Amino acid sequence: MLLAGLGAAALAMSGPQANAGAAIVSGPHIVSLGQLPGGTHSSAYDINNRGVIVGSSQTATGGDHAVRWDPDGRITDLGTLPGGDYSHAEAINDRGYIVGEARTADGSDHAVRWAPDGTITDLDALNGQRGSRATGINDRGYAIGFTWIPNGISHAVRWRPDGTGSDLGTNSPLKSTMAFGINDHGVVTGVTTEGAEGAHYHYPLTWADGSTTGVVLPPLPNDEHRGSAVGINDKGLVVGYSQIGHALPMSLTVHATVWSPGAAVPTDLGGLPGGDFSSYANDVNDEADIVGSAVTNRSYDYQAILWEREKSGWRLVPLPQLPGGTWSEAKAIGDDGEVVGTAHTAQGLGVAVRWER
């Protein structure tokens, strides 16, 4: 989670400190979005500024299909590629274009784009690679994601509105790259890792508009430079997570993190009170409100979190769980403050939800 060209500099950033001492206030109320007829689970991944939500839902036959929820709650099955049995919608722009992945008749998963009328397009697979996934799209129609190449390595990809792709992973600090977010200025966020044998070593990256060279973002103080840049807004605020302190790579604790243009170090958003558990930031809107999740206990239950922007920093607002549920994650937030994600029912089934103010 930069103005055009800002990613070309080593984003030495930070913003106002997270308001760790602030009182935690009650959050919005939670509403289930439901699923396709006959399905038992669903997930919401993104919302645009017109209130349209996208994600996936189980179908009556047991497979998962990409879906769209209109502002009035009506759900639409977006289908999959010819002969395929699976699809997933990851992101939507304000023009109604949706990106994600869909399975082909030969069983491989391809990055795809759905037009507002539901037409699906198989996006360009770089260098003939069989596997790819689209994770974000801006209002100019540029999509981003990644493609799998041999030996467990992935390369970040940027697709133009005409569907042609360019490889962003050829000039990265480590072997593998993935892209997760893109703003309307064309700045891309993501991660670089050591690849299949060392994927637990990972650094947050940004790419400037049109650039194929990723720039590593600075770590939190005293960490070992492990983290990921996930979301980005049009004002250049990047969110994701970073390791806190020193730990073995496979047992690290991470905190939701903000990289702010012009600041010297990033901001640690912290986690829930009562324990030094991990937290993650997934998205940020143009009002600088941030959403994600935080670990609630040693059983690794999660609770959706809103970090609400105030003059002095960010106020931590835990979002309510579904009745009887103990797990939730907020994936996206619109500029009007509406939040979407996934929560578990009392029976442990995940369902798409939105949190309304």
pLDDT in tens, the chain (357 residues): 333 333 333 333 334 445 433 334 455 899 999 999 999 999 999 999 999 999 999 999 999 999 999 999 999 999 999 999 999 999 999 999 999 999 999 999 999 999 999 999 999 778 767 789 999 999 999 999 999 987 778 999 999 999 999 999 888 878 899 999 999 999 999 999 886 555 567 899 999 999 999 999 998 887 666 899 999 999 999 999 998 876 554 457 899 999 999 888 999 999 998 767 899 999 999 999 999 999 998 788 999 999 999 999 999 999 999 999 999 999 999 999 999 999 999 999 999 999 998
Give dist(CA 355, CA 199) in Å, integer.
33
| pLDDT at residue 224, as a whole number | 66
Q: How many residues does the chain have?
A: 357
| pLDDT at residue 10, as a whole number | 33
Entry pTM = 0.90
Task: Name the residue with tokens 């700045």.
Answer: 187
| pLDDT at residue 247, as a whole number | 56
Give me the residue spans of the domains in the chain: 6-356
Residues 326/335, Cβ–Cβ less than 8 Å: no
| pLDDT at residue 195, as a whole number | 65
Homologous superfamily of domain range 6-356 = Peptidase/esterase 'gauge' domain (2.130.10.150)
Give how far Cα 228 sits from Cα of 216, 219, 245, 272, 307, Å: 10, 10, 16, 20, 18
Structure token digits, residue 339: 């939040």
